[in-house]
Amino acid sequence: MKKIIFGCLAFSLIFAACSKNYEVPGRLVLKVTDCPFPIKYVESATVTITKIEIRQAGNYRIRNRFSSFPDDTVGNERNNPFIVLSEDTITFDLLNLRNGITQELLNLEIPQGTYDLIRLYVADAGLKIKEHNSPFQTKIPSGSQTGIKIFIRPPLVVEGGLTTELLLDFDLSRSFVMMGNMHHPAGITGFIFKPVIRAVNNSTAGRIEGIVSDTSMARLANAQVWIEQDTIVSTAFTDTTGYYAMIGIPAGTYSAYATKENYDTVCVKDVKVTAANRTVVHFVLNKK
């Protein structure tokens, strides 16, 4: 699955034995990727953001050029200040960010500290469906005014002189809510953009990848693959070669599933993901 640095935010964390200097900034790399909407219906899924902020956790106040709040700010925003990371207009197509592909949103120095929330300001989102002449411009409930909040759990720690990579995994399949009915004569009347995004520290995450085929070993395109750990964690769709990949998966043990229309669902239990490593899981589906 292709990935953009907007859908997933990743920080590459390098460890070194040295004394800490809290005046030295660390470097933050922000990337985005996508858990896609069923791609057989989608021609493009574009998102335009105009501002990115990150929040410092706890009571530490930032009194330098990075702070978006004056020193006399009071209340909760004083205790949890936001840093403006970017005010550039960035547009990307989520359909190009599948199966391990990412797009870098920013790469810059930020103060040392612990960060627990990213805020994205979305100015526009459009979805083009195959066999429809023009893309649907979606409704964006307050996304451009108050921003879309993505909590970072566990919080991200940025250390001086080191680089941290944060991945934003954007779940396209749940982020565009369809109005109307694709199978009804009136058709689709539009979409509401309610983004589902998870933020992952890439230093503690791994990836799962593999091939989905049928019993004749023919590789299956557009098969859906997902992993669960109590709830669905990540989803992917295979490409034309039957390949899928899910990146930014926190270390742990998961159940993995694969299915396709007119095929049974196959489950592989106890799939172990290790930080900074890949886990290979292949699926063979039986026709119904």
Cβ-in-10-Å burial (0-12, 13-18, 19+) of 60 comes to: middle
Instruction: Kindly report the pTM of this predicted structure.
Output: 0.73
pLDDT for residue 144 is more than 70: no
**Domains in the chain, CATH or no CATH each:** 9-204 (no CATH), 206-285 (2.60.40.1120)
Residue type, 50: T
Q: Per the structure block, which two tokens stand in for 81?
A: 């200040």
Per-residue pLDDT at 23 = 72
Residue type, 21: N
Percent of the chain with pLDDT over 90: 46
Cβ-in-10-Å burial (0-12, 13-18, 19+) of 21 comes to: exposed
Q: In angstroms, rounded to a whole number, what is the distance separating the alpha carbons of residues 189 and 278?
A: 41
pLDDT for residue 185 is more than 80: no
Lowest mean pLDDT among 38-47, 126-135, 153-162, 181-190: 181-190
Per-residue pLDDT at 204 = 85
**What is the separation, in whole angstroms, between the first and last Cα of the chain?**
26
Per-residue pLDDT at 60 = 46
Instruction: Calculate the average pLDDT of the chain.
Output: 80
More confident residue, 37 or 193: 193
C-alpha distances in Å from residue 33, one per residue of 87, 134, 236, 261: 20, 25, 11, 25
Lowest mean pLDDT among 15-24, 118-127, 203-212: 15-24
Q: Per the structure block, which two tokens stand in for 248?
A: 């930014």
**252-259 and 266-273 strand pairing:** antiparallel
Segment 264-269 long-range contacts (CB within 8 Å, at least 24 positions apart): 264/288
Q: In angstroms, rounded to a whole number, what is the distance separating the alpha carbons of residues 278 and 275?
A: 8
Per-residue pLDDT at 32 = 72
Q: In angstroms, rounded to a whole number, what is the distance separating the alpha carbons of residues 255 and 205?
A: 16
Span 71-100, average pLDDT: 75
Q: Per the structure block, which two tokens stand in for 226?
A: 């997902």
